[in-house]
Chains A and B, each alone.
Chain A
Amino acid sequence: MRGAPVDVLQRVPLFTDLSKREVQQIARLFKERRFAAGETVVQEGSSGAAFFVIESGEAKVFIGGKEHTTLKVDDYFGEIALVDEGTRMATITATSELVCYGLTYWDFRPVVEANGVIGWKLLQRMAKMLRAARED
């Protein structure tokens, strides 16, 4: 199996402005990653370079040590790290065997750099997300 399902990625806010063809281009870059139940998927405060979409299984989100929500099939996390390589804003722990599609910053960046249209759409989407966050 190569890549991630396009329909799942089209629901990721960061990618909603992209055409199907553009999402297909990105979907091919995903690699499967498996976590055992109890394994820490990402750690709050650590650096991250990958974005994940859940293929199967469940995971819990903790912020500041406090349980926040549960992630299930087709949920996603870590998309901001794809752009800014920044630190993780939450800890996510697998609560069952968890299978994800993962995309690293290293694979994503060349696509954006080579395709100004994708880059501009992502920039616009980020601006909208920022505006929405400020209005919340």
Chain B
Amino acid sequence: MKRVVPLENALDETSFGSKAVGLGQAIRDGLPVPPGVALSGSIVEAVAAGESSAIKAVAKRVRPLGGPLAVRSSAMDEDGAEASFAGQHLTLLNVPSADELGSALSKIWWSANSDSAITYRKRVGLFTRPSIGVVVQALLDPDTAGVMFTKNPVTGADERVIEASWGLGEAVVAGIVIPDHYRVDRSGQVLERKPGLKRVSVRGVPEGGTVEKDVPPELVESLCLDDDQLRQLSQLADRCEQVYGHGRDVEWAIEDGTLYLLQCRVITQAGR
């Protein structure tokens, strides 16, 4: 069905994809997720096909979010393949407003039908028609962002491992910087702080999209999280584990002193 719903009302993974439903669950459980809407796979396809009624329906529901927007693919969990599709299905950050959403959704729809996605689908034995939901949220302009593992993904130790850098978390996710590295125990006690080499930060630009900006020299090797923020992150890890279970890979951001959860999924390589 062609549906656009507030993120907290996204319940059906076969319509909205696992990312949308996971974030919806997080909102229902009181986790600090930025507001957003979930688009079903069929309405994403209708927008990609240029159906004006679908384009209008989406714009109407997205407009109250303001702009700029983060537009993230939310793949249907086909045989647990969601994590593996990461990197093939697009995320578009800093789409200026609801009026520019059509081309963003077209790009995302095609990313699920691209040669690389089709090649991957065949390799894992998926011969069904791809369908892709989308999550649209207000884009944050974070001071600091990154990833957090609720247990050590290398050793399997019961501790939080946090990697952080200035600006949007894509600098960490895409490996553009050497991020700060922190280990924090369950009580919030900091076990290790290792500054990274953060020469650039990823920031939104007014015309849409993101750019890499030089970080002021004095911040390149400065720690970008203080102990209080690390404690807050550890508490967020607790809450994520209560809601989703142990061993989570969390994307987070801090904007104007407020911590947000952007994504929470299972660690795929934990503690082998």
Contact = CB atoms under 8 A, between A and B. Distances in A.
Interface stretch (B102-110, B166-174, B225-233, B242-250): B102-110
Interface string A1-30: 111000000000000000000000000000
B119 interface: yes
Contacts of B107: 34
Contacts, number: 44
Contact of A42 (B109, B115, B129): B115
Contacts of A48: 115, 118
Interface size class of A (residues with CB under 8 A): 10 to 19
A31 B115 contact: no
Interface in A94-116: 102, 104, 106
Given A2-B49, A50-B113, A33 B106 contact: yes
Interface residues of B, number: 18
Contacts of A34: 103, 106-107
A47 B49 contact: no
A31 B103 contact: no
B115 A43 contact: yes
Interface string B136-177: 000000000000000000000000000000000000000000
Given A31-B106, A32-B106, A106-B129, A49 B50 contact: no
Given A47-B122, A102-B110, A32 B50 contact: yes
Given A31-B109, A34-B103, A106-B129, A46 B116 contact: yes
Interface of A: 1-3, 31-34, 42-43, 46-50, 88, 102, 104, 106
